[in-house]
Amino acid sequence: MIEYHDKEWGVPVHDDNTLFEFLVLEGAQAGLSWETILNKRVNYRRAFHNFQPGKSRPLREQRRPTSPR
Protein backbone atom coordinates (compact mmCIF):
# COMPACT_ATOMS: atom_id res chain seq x y z
CA MET A 1 0.00 0.00 0.00
CA ILE A 2 2.86 2.39 0.80
CA GLU A 3 4.53 1.60 -2.53
CA TYR A 4 1.28 2.41 -4.37
CA HIS A 5 0.98 5.70 -2.48
CA ASP A 6 4.59 6.70 -3.07
CA LYS A 7 4.97 5.62 -6.71
CA GLU A 8 1.51 5.76 -8.34
CA TRP A 9 -1.06 7.82 -6.47
CA GLY A 10 -1.10 11.43 -7.58
CA VAL A 11 1.40 10.87 -10.39
CA PRO A 12 0.19 12.22 -13.76
CA VAL A 13 -0.58 9.40 -16.22
CA HIS A 14 -0.82 9.71 -20.00
CA ASP A 15 -0.77 6.03 -21.01
CA ASP A 16 -4.17 4.72 -22.19
CA ASN A 17 -3.67 1.26 -20.68
CA THR A 18 -2.74 2.69 -17.30
CA LEU A 19 -5.70 5.07 -17.39
CA PHE A 20 -7.99 2.15 -18.25
CA GLU A 21 -6.50 0.16 -15.37
CA PHE A 22 -7.17 2.98 -12.91
CA LEU A 23 -10.72 3.35 -14.23
CA VAL A 24 -11.44 -0.36 -13.73
CA LEU A 25 -9.85 -0.41 -10.28
CA GLU A 26 -11.76 2.73 -9.21
CA GLY A 27 -15.03 1.09 -10.26
CA ALA A 28 -14.17 -2.12 -8.41
CA GLN A 29 -13.19 -0.17 -5.32
CA ALA A 30 -16.70 1.14 -4.61
CA GLY A 31 -17.30 0.14 -1.00
CA LEU A 32 -14.03 -1.75 -0.61
CA SER A 33 -10.67 -0.64 0.71
CA TRP A 34 -7.87 0.18 -1.71
CA GLU A 35 -5.79 -2.47 -0.01
CA THR A 36 -8.35 -5.11 -1.03
CA ILE A 37 -8.35 -3.91 -4.64
CA LEU A 38 -4.56 -3.68 -4.85
CA ASN A 39 -4.27 -7.22 -3.47
CA LYS A 40 -6.48 -8.41 -6.35
CA ARG A 41 -4.76 -6.27 -8.99
CA VAL A 42 -2.95 -9.24 -10.58
CA ASN A 43 -6.28 -11.00 -11.07
CA TYR A 44 -7.79 -7.88 -12.62
CA ARG A 45 -4.81 -7.67 -15.00
CA ARG A 46 -5.44 -11.25 -16.10
CA ALA A 47 -9.17 -10.71 -16.51
CA PHE A 48 -8.71 -7.51 -18.54
CA HIS A 49 -5.78 -8.68 -20.70
CA ASN A 50 -3.28 -6.47 -18.88
CA PHE A 51 -5.72 -3.56 -19.21
CA GLN A 52 -5.53 -3.33 -22.97
CA PRO A 53 -8.90 -1.82 -23.91
CA GLY A 54 -8.90 -3.28 -27.42
CA LYS A 55 -8.49 -6.81 -26.10
CA SER A 56 -10.93 -6.38 -23.22
CA ARG A 57 -13.83 -5.14 -25.36
CA PRO A 58 -14.39 -8.46 -27.18
CA LEU A 59 -14.75 -10.20 -23.81
CA ARG A 60 -17.87 -8.19 -23.07
CA GLU A 61 -19.30 -9.08 -26.46
CA GLN A 62 -18.56 -12.78 -25.97
CA ARG A 63 -20.19 -12.85 -22.55
CA ARG A 64 -23.29 -10.89 -23.56
CA PRO A 65 -26.30 -13.01 -22.72
CA THR A 66 -28.77 -13.70 -25.46
CA SER A 67 -32.19 -12.16 -25.01
CA PRO A 68 -35.08 -14.54 -24.34
CA ARG A 69 -37.42 -15.04 -27.25
Return the active site residues. 4, 26, 34
Amino acid of residue 28: A
The neighbour count for residue 57, using CB atoms within 10 Å, is 11
In this structure, what DSSP letter does residue 27 have?
H
Contacts of 46 (CB under 8 A, 6+ apart): none
Tally of residues, the chain = 69
